[in-house]
Structures are given as C-alpha cells and as structure tokens.
Amino acid sequence: MARIKPQALLNQSKKKKGPSRISISTIVVCNLVVAVVVLSLVTTYRHWSQRSRNAIETQSQRFEDTNAASEQKSYDLPGYADISTSKGLITVELFKDASPEAVDRFLDLCQKDHFKGMPFHRVIKNYLVQAGHSQSSIPVEEWTSKGKLRGRLNTSPKHEAFMLGTPKTKGNNNNKDFELLITTAPIPDLNDQLIVFGRVLKGEDVVQEIEEVDTDEHYQPKSQIGIISVILKREL
C-alpha cells in the first residue's frame, strides 16, 4: 500500500469543509418572512379589534336610538285633557312619565269614546268623586272607613286633593273597569287602591260643584251628572 506523503495529508485536510456559513441573503429573506408574519398578526388583531368596537358602538347606538324613540313617543303623546262634564269643564295634566301605563290606557280609551256619557256614580263629600260605567269593585264601606281613619293619620299625604286616578282592581286590564276618580281632599291611606295618573289644573270649582250634589245613603247622586266628552291636548 502506497504511503501518503505528509504534504498530501496537509492538502487533504485543507480541502475538508468547515461549518457552513449562512449567507446574508438568507438572513434577509428570513427577516422578511418574520416581518410579514408579525405584520399579518398585527393587521388581523386590529381588524377584529375594530370589528368588536364597531359592534359595541352599534349596540350602544341602537340602545340610544331606542331610548330616543321612547322619549320621542312620550313627548308626542298628549299631556293634557279637557274633561267636559254636565257641571262644567275640568282641565287635567297627565303624568306621562310617572304613570305611563295608566296614561296609555286613558289615551286609548279616549280615542274609543269610552268616557263619553260616563256618569258620576259615587260622590263622597270631602273625599272624592268617581265616574264609571259600572259600580265600583271597592265597597262603599271601605271608602268611608278609610275616610274616618284619615283624620287620625299623621303620615304625609301620598294623594293630594284634585288628583286624577283610577281604582286598582283585579280586572284592571278590562277597559270596562277603567273608571275616573278625582280626589277632593288629601288621601294618604289609599295608595294601595288608587293609581294616580294626573292632576286637575283648572276647574277645581267644577269638581267641588259635583261634590256638592245630593246623594242617597249609598253615596250615589240623586240627579244625573256625568262626563260629556274628553278632548286630548298636547299643550294648554
């Protein structure tokens, strides 16, 4: 076997490849790929973040639009009514914000002429006058017993004089049971039986004139007295 000379061995070792070096172009390409990936991730995050913000803003806008529509509807509804009776005219203000459901029913019934020809079937002096197409579901004894207790109560009145309301009844969703009641004195102890949805602005003297009519032992007027018509108004 032929012997390899030392010089040949040296030349062979020089020819052996050392560790491969990464070229500058490869490094640049890798950096570009990483930059593209990062940019893509940032763009995607911004896109979905913007969509999320838009969705929240849309929901908020819808909520505001709903509130605005509700407020606009409440603003557009008549806030006053002229109640023409056989004794004269009574002008009332409606509590659209405080008692919206009762006011809505009252306005709807006015459109249907529900109160036209409605008689005052109960008159309790220094207490209230009440109009309805049927006898009240609240017994007279309960009204009068409350009236006797009224003088001994020291609580502040929840219902002042000349407030417009309707009695609470089990069948209160029945339009036939919707009656009108005007207090002629503070009634602090009937909060659980009355829904107050307005107050008299003009015509207190007419209410007092109705209050002064002669009644029988059941507090029913001896002479016919009632509501002729109700005219709704947006302004006085």
Give the Cβ contact number of residue 234 at 10 Å: 10
Residue 118 near residue 180, CB atoms below 8 Å:
yes
Of the two residues 227 and 155, the one the predictor is more confident about is 227
178-191 pLDDT, tens digit per residue, is 899 999 998 776 66
**99 contacts: CB under 8 Å, gap ≥ 6:** 195, 196, 197, 198
Alpha carbons within 13 angstroms on the beta-carbon side of residue 68 total 6
pLDDT at 129: 95
pLDDT at 102: 92
Q: Is the pLDDT of residue 146 over 90?
A: no
Paired with 82 in beta bridges are 91, 231
- Residue from 168, 155, 175 nearest 194 by CA: 168
Whose tokens are 């197409």? That residue is 133
pLDDT at 21: 65
**128 contacts: CB under 8 Å, gap ≥ 6:** 122, 143, 181, 182, 183, 184, 185, 187
Provide mean pLDDT across the span 64-79. 62
Give the Cβ contact number of residue 187 at 10 Å: 26
d(CA 139, CA 160): 22
The strand order across the sheet containing 194-202 reads 120-124, 128-131, 180-183, 163-167, 194-202, 88-94, 80-85, 227-233
pTM as predicted: 0.64
Of the two residues 56 and 69, the one the predictor is more confident about is 56
Pick the CATH number of 80-140+157-233 from 2.40.160.20, 3.40.50.2000, 2.60.40.1180, 2.40.100.10: 2.40.100.10
CA distances to 79, 146, 147, 222 from 139, rounded to whole Å, are 32, 11, 13, 19
